[in-house]
Amino acid sequence: MHPKRRVVERSLAWLTAHRRLARDYERDPAVFEALIRWDAINTMVRQFDRGGPATRQPAGPPARPINSLLKHSLSCLAAEYGGLDS
């Protein structure tokens, strides 16, 4: 078995766990690409939030709610770029 095959298959399984990506309902390829990106970002945020790989069934409650993680990230970006009022 190729070493990268498992990584690719696992990533595709995570993406197809999202209902909108299980079938190709979108007519515009750009919309489908945006959905793939959004779901990949969602998977990575869950992985960072839990401190381990993203799973379908969490072992327990997350250490920090995802909303607070996203708010913290946005506040860091706002501080770095001098606000979001541009």
Task: Kindly list the domain boundaries of the chain, sorted by start residue.
Answer: 3-81
Structure tokens at 63: 């250490």
Residue with the bigger pLDDT between 15 and 37: it is 37
Phi then psi for 20, rounded to 5 degrees? -70, -20
Would the pLDDT of 83 be above 60?
Answer: no
Residue with tokens 């959004």: 38
- pLDDT at residue 86, rounded to an integer: 44
- pLDDT at residue 60, rounded to an integer: 60
pLDDT, tens only, 18-53: 666 666 676 777 877 787 788 888 877 877 777 666
Output the average pLDDT for the chain.
69
Would the pLDDT of 2 be above 50?
Answer: yes
Task: Judge contact between 22 and 16, C-beta under 8 A.
Answer: yes
